[in-house]
Amino acid sequence: MKSSAVCILSCIASTVTVLAIQHQTGPLSRIQAQPTGSSSGTRLVEDALSDIAAPRVYDSEGLAPDEAVAAFVYRANNRSVVNIATRIGGERGFLGENPTSDSGSGFIIDRFGHILTNHHVIEDAQRILVTLHDGVEYEAELVGLDPLNDLAVVRIQAPEKVLVPVRFSSSSGLLVGMRVFAIGNPFGLERTMTTGIISSLDRTLPVTRARSIKSVIQIDAAINPGNSGGPLLNSHGEVIGINTAIASRTGQNSGIGFAIPSNLLARIVPELLQHGRFIRPEFGIDEVARTDQGLRVTTIDPRGPAARAGIRGPEVQQKRRGIFVFESRDTSKADVIVGVNGKPTLQPDEFLSEVESHRPGDEITIEVLRNGQTISIPVLLE
């Protein structure tokens, strides 16, 4: 196969020749510089021509393998991604407007019209409007939410034939460097796909001052306002997470995005569908204080699971002075939590995350430091 054009430009000042060869289907990406008069220039032309003649691997549509993967992922999922707009007012405002407070993304998870998104996308919304791939808008009802994990499920009444659910995959086998795809509605541009790699795993994403989401996926795929709630997909077109946040000083993409992993979704979403909220196990410890050694128990329910199991809180003493009763707490004798099920927990959110990874009725082992010794206490969660 012959090239359609060969262009040799001579740079007199630096006596360097830049060779650019254009293929029939487009310019080659191979551009090199060689000293003028060198035999390597001839070899460069021969190498470039041999590249043109080398066989290319394309599919039936003329796509290279990586292009075919990206096209497959988009075709398999773009109809599953929806645009979510929230209204802060009624049908019409005082001046005839229909004000929008925010917009984001979501994706269909079953044929019953359930859609998964982020809690912050629909937070405080009086109306939730969902637009499907065919452009038809539906009013959605809230099914369940979990603010601490930034997840929410809404439902629309739409014909089953237009509902295309996604497929999920476990996030436990992810590796840094794996290729990922994000589909969402950045700046209202519906069903836009971006691609990148997994930049890191097991990140911690703060939700409140005392709570954070664990095992978060960090990606470098472009994520912008409006992408929140959209799916993060692997090369098989399967959902491995939900795009949730970006690290940016401007509020726009800076190459650092975060997604909640699918394994956490598998634990939370069924409870949102069934109960409307995530039922967290009760263990009976209300407050802890962080110390250098661990988490000292400062408030404990005397009738709760932890107290019944033998975990000690502060010693409480009451003193009466006239008609008044004063209560004092001696926390120096309270247990210090140092681990759960053998895992060190030196931060409050680490302790809560480990406990809440279990269900009511499960038995966990809490390791506490008492009188200079570490003891293990089994606690039955309620």
Position with higher pLDDT, 109 vs 315: 109
Q: Which of 162-166, 174-178, 302-306, 326-330 has the lowest mean pLDDT?
A: 326-330
In order, the DSSP letters of 19-74 are: EEEEETTEE-S--EEEETT-THHHHHHHHHHHHHHS-----TTS--HHHHHHHHHH
DSSP assignment of 202-245: EEEEESSSS-EEEEEEEE-S---TT-TT-EEE-TTS-EEEEEEE
- Give the tens place of pLDDT for each residue, 141-169: 999 998 888 899 999 999 999 999 999 98
Helix spans in the chain (H): 40-53, 65-77, 119-122, 262-275, 305-309, 348-356
Comparing CA positions, the residue from 131, 175, 178 lying closest to residue 156 is 131
* 310 vs 330 pLDDT, higher one: 310
Catalytic residues: 120, 150, 228
pLDDT of residue 102: 62
More confident residue, 345 or 123: 123
Whether the model pTM is above 0.75: no
pLDDT value, residue 176 = 92
Give the pLDDT mean for 64-91.
Answer: 82
